[in-house]
Amino acid sequence: MKKTEIIENINKLLIEDFEIDSNIISPNVKIVEELGIDSLDFVDIVVFIEEVFNIKLGADDFKNVVTLQDFYDLIEKKSK
């Protein structure tokens, strides 16, 4: 999957499912602090990533994920 598709899918999830304002979504935004993603949202994200990208994520994968850009990069790396 191309990086643009990854970004598009993740942004779509954030806007449609989490009702996050599209104006604040940018690569450098912090996922927890600025987007307000909490533990229950992470359940949705993990399930979504598994279904859409067909990849499994573990707790260690998220250790260095702070911003949306980190998250896009993680999915790209895992889906290769």
Partner 1 sequence: MDTEWKGKSKGNVLGYRIFVFLIKNLGLSSAYFLLYFVATYYCFFSKNSTTSMYYYYRKRRRYSNLKTICSIYKSYYIFGQTIIDRVAVSSGLRKNFTYDFDGIDNIKKVINKKQGGILLSAHVGNFEMARCFFTEIDKNKTIHFLTSDDERTAIKNYLESVTSKSRIKYIYISDDLSHIFEIKAALSRNEIICMTGDRYTENSKYLIQTLLGKEARFPAGPFHLASKFKVSLLFVYVMKESNLHYHLYARKANIIQNDAIALLKLYTENLEWILSKYPLQWFNYFNFWNSYKNQ
Residues that bind partner 1 (CB under 8 A): 38-40, 42-44, 46-47, 56-59, 62
Could you identify the residue written with the tokens 């996050």? 20
Question: How far apart are CB 59 and partner 1 at their closest, in Å?
Answer: 4
Quote the tokens at residue 12. 């779509």
Q: Identify the DSSP state of 19.
A: -
Question: How far apart are CB 58 and partner 1 at their closest, in Å?
Answer: 5
Nearer to partner 1, 23 or 59 (CB): 59
Nearer to partner 1, 8 or 17 (CB): 17
The number of CA neighbours under 13 Å toward the Cβ of 17 is: 15
Nearer to partner 1, 5 or 32 (CB): 32
Question: How far apart are CB 20 and partner 1 at their closest, in Å?
Answer: 17
Residue 79 burial (10 A CB sphere; 0-12, 13-18, 19+): middle
